[in-house]
Amino acid sequence: MFSKPTKGDAPTELSVASSRKISVASLVAEGFRIRGDVTTDSDLHLDGVVEGDVKVGRLTIGESGAVNGTITAESVEIRGAVTGTISARQVRLWASARVDGDISHTELSIEAGAHFEGRSLSLAPAKPETLSVVAAE
């Protein structure tokens, strides 16, 4: 019951979960303004304003949040305003969103009421490597 696992044992759900690095999203609060670029591998929740480029892991823009610049992220959820281009695998525009610029994406979701003026450009999904088979004579 409480024995030490051996090399051949499969990892348990608890051990897999504890090996992941848990990080808390950074917060730029309402009323806070950043002039310059923001770069991090972590997540960012933005209720303030960024005048510059944003490159993050996952970006959430609240209703009072705004970005005037280029956004590059794995995932973007927008409830506020963006003026500039967005490049992300997943993009979701909520009903309160206002986006003026092109969106490059693999998945795009736009709720009724959202404002989007620009082009939707589909990114090619990553192709799995193919195996070549050589027949023996």
Handedness of CA 8, 12, 15, 18 (dihedral sign): positive
Share of the chain above pLDDT 90, in %: 65
Give me Rg for the CA atoms of the chain.
Answer: 20
| Domain annotation covers residue 125 | no
| Domain annotation covers residue 109 | yes
| Domain annotation covers residue 49 | yes
pLDDT at 60 over 90: yes
The range of the structural domain enclosing residue 49 comes to: 23-117
What would the two tokens of residue 51 be?
A: 């005048």
In sequence order, the β-bridge partners of residue 61 are: 46, 78
pLDDT at 130 over 70: no
> Residue 38, Cβ neighbours under 10 Å: how many?
19
What is the number of domains present in the chain? 1
| Domain annotation covers residue 126 | no
